[in-house]
Amino acid sequence: MHLSELSQFRVPHGNMDGIGDTYEEGKPSFWKKSSKAVPGRPSPKRDLRSNSFKSSSTSTSFQDFQESVNDAWDLADDDICGSTGVTISSRVSQSAALSVINNHRNTAGSEEERSSQQPILSEQKKTEAIQRLALLQNSQATPTVNAQHTPHHARQFPGRPQPLRGLPSSGSREGEESSKLERFQPLLESTLLNLEDLRQLSWSGIPVKVRAITWRLLSGYVPANLERRQQVLEQKRQDYWNLVKQYFNTDRDEAYEDTYRQIHIDIPRMSPLIALFQQQTVQEMFERILYIWAIRHPASGYVQGMNDLVTPFYIVFLQEAIPADSDLDTFNVSQLTKEQRDIIEADSFWCLSKFLDGIQDNYIFAQLGIQRKVNQLKELIQRIDSALHRHLQQHGVDYLQFSFRWMNNLLTRELPLYCTIRLWDTYLAESDGFASFQLYVCAAFLMHWRQELLQEKDFQGLMLMLQNLPTQRWTDSEISIVVAEAYRLKFTFADAPNHLQSGDR
């Protein structure tokens, strides 16, 4: 067994210090009290609790939870993590090792059979789901794709964004892009844009050629008035670089040294399968974006995983600046002019800022927004799929153990990057903010794997599956199915009288 499989039991460092409310009414708090009253700032100087693993089945602190579940962000970084004071409980490691080995031994020789039994969504169901999406959004249905799911143990880096190279474009897909583009262009070129029309058109996906300008508009970064757009863009871009000059290119405030240090550590480790993000030029751009965002939002500051939320914006604005036939995976960003790089960086910063405005409570003291959403997901699944809920509960799987990363990283670690970008077309198009809609996306995403999950008969198998879902071959079609189901769930349950009320557990 490879050591990386054990890294699911390693803990994140410096991401969620603080004091929080109780996770559930009447139960002890999950959340550790901070020794430093500085919200949102990681500090390597804080006193860590003993790493001894309590035998009690109910965790009494967030430290206990950290010792027993997967790191929400980082895997296979033991050399870096060791230098920052984070340790792994030997008892947890040994127990995890034995569990994984025994599980693999018991299932050896039957993996091929299990893989062949993984249910694949029928073409009829796919067609029905996509047609439903078309009816909901008054758009043409996307062509179905025969999804080929690979076994969940086959991926080398679970929880990591996959390479950017997508599946070859078919003639039908190119025709669909062209048809959509014909509907977008007149709208975008209108003197006074109707944002509601743009949202409805964007909900089911945005053509690559107009995605950058559409994202700027949907984010509220540029005005609907066509004549004012260029002026606003130039002013906002200059504002960003003034902030960089004032706060980044000078002696940094000592109060933010911990923030900068954590960003500087995290950025080189992001997206190891994507060569683009290993370029020094790109990493320096991300450092500036995240640092300026952190000092402008002291209530939350920088939280690990935020770099994943910059990535979709960065890719979309990079695609706008380079030739259409360029390979994003290997494109050398330093070949762009300084002006082009400055535009990509500034636009990524402002769109990220607008995007995070609706979910900032996810990143404040103790990440209370995520606590609440995880509990809501649990209650929602209990109502809509009691069999799956009971299966997870009977095998000791806590929703926090897998859905924390889904909520914190908005599924960017669970999907190929091009699928994340397609999903964010819908997120940005949500007129009432995507934060509430994402709950239903996570519910639909979990239910998509219900048959595979029900086949797993122990905690270890369930966690390996949930931490390493086989989405590497997903395309826009699978995302369309998930968001269509999420829309149905929201339409069905959002206004229900007892919606998200605690029931029997």
Cα separation, 500 vs 375, whole angstroms: 9
- Whether 92 maps to a domain, the answer reads no
- CB count within 10 Å of CB 314 equals 24
- Whether 331 maps to a domain, the answer reads yes
Strand partners, 192: 225
- 421-460 confidence digits (pLDDT tens): 999 999 999 977 788 899 999 999 999 999 999 999 999 9
- Whether 267 maps to a domain, the answer reads yes
Give percent of the chain above pLDDT 70.
64
- The predicted pLDDT at position 163 comes to 57
Q: With contact defined as beta carbons under 8 Å apart, do 193 and 217 qualify?
A: yes
Alpha helix (H) residue ranges in 246-395: 257-266, 280-296, 306-321, 338-357, 368-384, 386-394
Sign of CA dihedral 201, 205, 208, 211: positive
Looking at residue 194, the DSSP 8-state letter turns out to be -
Task: Indicate whether 212 and 348 sit together in one domain.
Answer: yes
CATH number at residue 383: 1.10.472.80
Which structure tokens are listed for 400? 């926090």
Give percent of the chain above pLDDT 90.
49
Task: Indicate whether 255 and 383 sit together in one domain.
Answer: no
Task: Indicate whether 213 and 347 sit together in one domain.
Answer: yes
Domain boundary among 320, 341, 357: 357
Domain boundary among 300, 326, 357: 357
Task: Indicate whether 341 and 429 sit together in one domain.
Answer: no
**pTM as predicted:** 0.69
- 181-205 confidence digits (pLDDT tens): 999 999 999 999 999 999 999 999 9
Mean pLDDT value across the chain: 74
Task: Indicate whether 335 and 367 sit together in one domain.
Answer: no
- Whether 91 maps to a domain, the answer reads no
Q: With contact defined as beta carbons under 8 Å apart, do 39 and 365 qualify?
A: yes
Structural domains of the chain, count: 2
Please provide the size of the chain in residues.
Answer: 505
Q: Give 52 or 179, the one with higher predicted confidence.
A: 179
- Whether 382 maps to a domain, the answer reads yes
- 392-431 confidence digits (pLDDT tens): 999 999 999 999 999 999 999 999 999 999 999 999 999 7
Q: With contact defined as beta carbons under 8 Å apart, do 450 and 385 qualify?
A: yes
Say if residue 337 is exposed, middle or buried (CB neighbours under 10 Å; 0-12, 13-18, 19+): exposed
- Whether 330 maps to a domain, the answer reads yes
Task: Indicate whether 282 and 205 sit together in one domain.
Answer: yes
- Whether 155 maps to a domain, the answer reads no
Looking at residue 246, the DSSP 8-state letter turns out to be I
Which residues constitute the domain of residue 398?
362-497
Domain boundary among 303, 338, 357: 357
**78, HSE (Cβ side, Cα atoms, 13 Å):** 11
Task: Indicate whether 389 and 414 sit together in one domain.
Answer: yes
Task: Indicate whether 269 and 382 sit together in one domain.
Answer: no
- Whether 351 maps to a domain, the answer reads yes
